[in-house]
Amino acid sequence: MLGAHTRQFKPVFQQAQQQLRAVFGMEMTELPAREKVTIQQKRAAAKSQSQSQKIANAWILTSTLPAKLRDHEILPPPKAPTAETESQYAALYSFVISCIMLNGGTLADSRLDRYLSRVNAAESMPLTQLGGPAMMDKTEKLQKRMEKDGYIVKVRDTTGGDEVVEWIVGPRGKVEVGDQGVRGMVQEVYGDVDDPQELDRRLERSLGVLEARPQEEGSGTRQRGKRRDGGEEEEEEQNGEEQEDGESEAE
């Protein structure tokens, strides 16, 4: 604790980062803020902007080792409760994050349930409870744990009158998995393919779908307004063309 010497935080933090990198091959990484997706969330964030600046930032430890050293034998999963359980959990939250990111950054709750059902998550995911033996955890509890750990975030939107429930990637999911983790999982699943460049192109297109959607078809919470605006512009142009045709025929 720095006590009254809070102004010394920056130099102390920099020295701590140097020690972490040199001794442990790790560093402190700041977690990004949770996305404001719905209109209600954006309005609430705008009203409490001054208060949000007072909230302490969240940090996690991330590895600085080169890619060739990031092997499971060098960086094994945590042993709490067991390495096997945590490796299964890491695999599942990486799978869920990949599904969300490959679907453009948002995934409907019903679709996530179908994806988890396909991999038998409810039947094959043992989670050890504190003070108790391993048990077969249900999908809902698995989702709540991922949400609590910051890997995914549930978004409820009632702007249109009906409740829409979607999932987005949480702060830890962005830092610990992110684009590189999704690429690695997809490449591991597909293995050796006849045209790896084509797989890379499809993967790039899927991961960059949020930027491409305004120019293409687009879907999801954040692009709905843009699609409607574009549709209105197209209708106006068509109406204008029809009106000109009508005037020429009248002449």
Q: Is the dihedral of CA 54, 18, 177, 194 positive or negative?
A: positive
Ramachandran sector of residue 76 (left: φ over 0; alpha: ψ -120 to 50; beta: rest): beta
**Mean pLDDT over each residue of the chain, to the nearest integer:** 75
In a domain, 14, yes or no: no
Tell me which residue has tokens 């990637």.
169
> Across 6-15, 122-131, 137-146, which has the greatest mean pLDDT?
6-15
Domain count of the fold of the chain: 1
- 33 pLDDT tier (thresholds 50, 70, 90): confident
DSSP track, the chain: --TT-GGGHHHHHHHHHHHIIIIISEEEEEPPPPP--SHHHHHHHHHTHHHHTTSPPPEEEEE-S-GGG--TTTSPPP-SS-HHHHHHHHHHHHHHHHHHHHTTS-EEHHHHHHHHHHTTHHHH-EEEPTTS-EEE--HHHHHHHHHHTTSEEEEEE-TTSS-EEEEEE-HHHHHHTHHHHHHHHHHHHH-S-S-HHHHHHHHHHHHTHHHHTTTS---SGGGHHHHHHHHHHHHHHHHHHHHHHHHHHH-
Q: Indicate if the pLDDT at residue 243 is higher than 70.
A: no
Q: What is the pTM of this model?
A: 0.69
**pLDDT tens digits, one per residue of 45-90:** 566 655 545 455 789 999 998 888 888 788 888 887 788 888 888 8
Of 133, 151, 135, give the one whose Cα is nearest residue 143.
151
User: Which pLDDT value is given to residue 39?
Assistant: 59
Taking Cα atoms as reference points, which of 101, 118, 105 lies closest to residue 182?
101
The reported pLDDT for the residue numbered 119 is: 84
Strand partners, 164: 157
| Position 125 confidence tier, pLDDT thresholds 50, 70, 90 | low
| Confidence (pLDDT) at 124 | 67
Whether residue 68 lies inside any domain: the answer is: no
> 46 lies in a domain?
no
Band of pLDDT at residue 130, cut at 50, 70 and 90? very low
Classify residue 23: in a domain, yes or no.
no
Q: What is the mean pLDDT of residues 195-212?
A: 76
Phi, psi of 128 (to 5 degrees): -85, 125
Question: Domain of 124?
Answer: 82-213
The span from the CA of 198 to the CA of 104, in Å, is 19
Residue 231 has pLDDT above 50, yes or no: no
Asked whether residue 196 is assigned to any structural domain, the reply reads yes
Q: What tens digit of pLDDT does each residue of 146-174 get? A: 999 999 999 988 877 788 899 999 999 99
Check residues 137 and 134 and name the one with the higher pLDDT.
137
Percent of the chain with pLDDT over 90: 27
* 8 domain residue, yes or no: no
Residue 195: band (very low, low, confident or very high) from pLDDT cuts 50, 70, 90: confident
Residue 245 has pLDDT above 90, yes or no: no
Domain CATH number, residue 178? 1.10.10.1210
Q: Indicate whether 119 belongs to any domain.
A: yes
Q: Which residues are CB-contacts of 90 (< 8 A; sequence separation ≥ 6)?
A: 77
Q: Given phi > 0 = left and psi -120 to 50 = alpha, else beta, which region is 105? A: left
Residue 151 included in any domain: yes
